[in-house]
Amino acid sequence: MRAVPLATLHAIAASLAATSAFAQAPAAPAQVAIPHQIACLGEEPFWRLDANRTTGSLQRLGGKSRQVVELRGELMAISFLTPKALVWRGDSTRLPSETVVATLREEACSSTMKDGPPQAWRAILSTRPGEAITGCCSVKNGYDTTKAPLAAFAAKAEDDWSRNFPAYAGAIARCVNESGVAVREVAKAWKVDRNLVAVRMVANDGKAWNCAVDTTSKTRPQSTSVAVTEPPLAGAGAPVFYPARDTPPLVTCGRLERIAGPRGRTEGWLHYDRC
């Protein structure tokens, strides 16, 4: 039998050790969808509650018109119950404040006023002592944006525009806040020349806009709409950037990464491989 050189044995051992370490390395945590938004409607008497994880709006009949109450609160899931249950509790922003509590249970719920397929959740709403009124709800789930992994810019691919996000962050913020466009997301940012940064934005209505920022000037960014016939912009949308808002983005697929500022405050999210 021919002897195997010692160097070869060392190489095989190192390869096996690396393979073993790779196999035992913890996998990246899966991004789990949680309840983000609820829309509930009661008909006898009429009421409607639209709420997310931090804010809500309650409509009720008052005289001949509808009264709208803005709310600040919290959406909580009771995960150990079967069927599933949710509670939304909040206080009105007006004075004197009033408390709204909606308890949702996952069960078929049909309208009492019109025909149609049942909704998946039933709610009991209470706004004052001795009151309990019912309605039906829909629930939208999405990733827990607070637990999204932090974006690691230096580790991103060369053709990923967000690799240079820290250098573009100021220009992006100016375009989002000063362009006059109701920005839903940013598809790409890139450097045009030494002092000029361009930002491709997508408005709430789905229209695309280009925004140009002179980083050496405080003049307002210049925005122009993008013609439908314009060729696709290379690398746009891979990823998209969602600026931080009161209501976080509702993401149900792909990969979400959080961008944190110098003090750890969330500045927005990057979304890859969205559906």
Query: What are the pLDDT digits (tens) for 148-176?
Result: 999 999 999 999 999 999 999 999 999 99
E strands present in 63-144: 65-78, 85-92, 99-109, 119-126, 133-143
pLDDT digits (tens, 9 = 90+) for 206-219: 999 999 999 999 99
In sign, the C-alpha dihedral spanning 118, 123, 124, 125 is: negative
What mean pLDDT is predicted for residues 193-204? 96
Query: pTM above the 0.85 mark?
Result: no
- Contact call for residues 117 and 134 (beta carbons, < 8 A): no
Does 9 score more than 60 pLDDT? no
What mean pLDDT is predicted for residues 118-141? 94
State the residue for tokens 């509790």.
Answer: 89
Confidence of residue 264 (pLDDT cuts 50, 70, 90): confident
Q: And the tokens for 215? A: 């980083």
pLDDT of residue 22: 35
- Contact call for residues 259 and 266 (beta carbons, < 8 A): yes
Neighbours of 44 (CB within 10 A): 10
Q: And the tokens for 12? A: 């095989």
* Calpha distance 68→146 (Å, rounded): 29
H or E element in which residue 177 lies: helix 165-178
Domain residue extents for the chain: 33-143, 146-272
High-pLDDT (> 90) share of the chain, %: 73
Phi-psi region at 215: left, alpha or beta (left = phi > 0; alpha = psi -120 to 50): alpha
* Calpha distance 249→271 (Å, rounded): 10
pLDDT of residue 28: 56
Q: And the tokens for 275? A: 């559906």
What mean pLDDT is predicted for residues 88-107? 94
pLDDT of residue 63: 64
The number of CA neighbours under 13 Å toward the Cβ of 251 is: 26
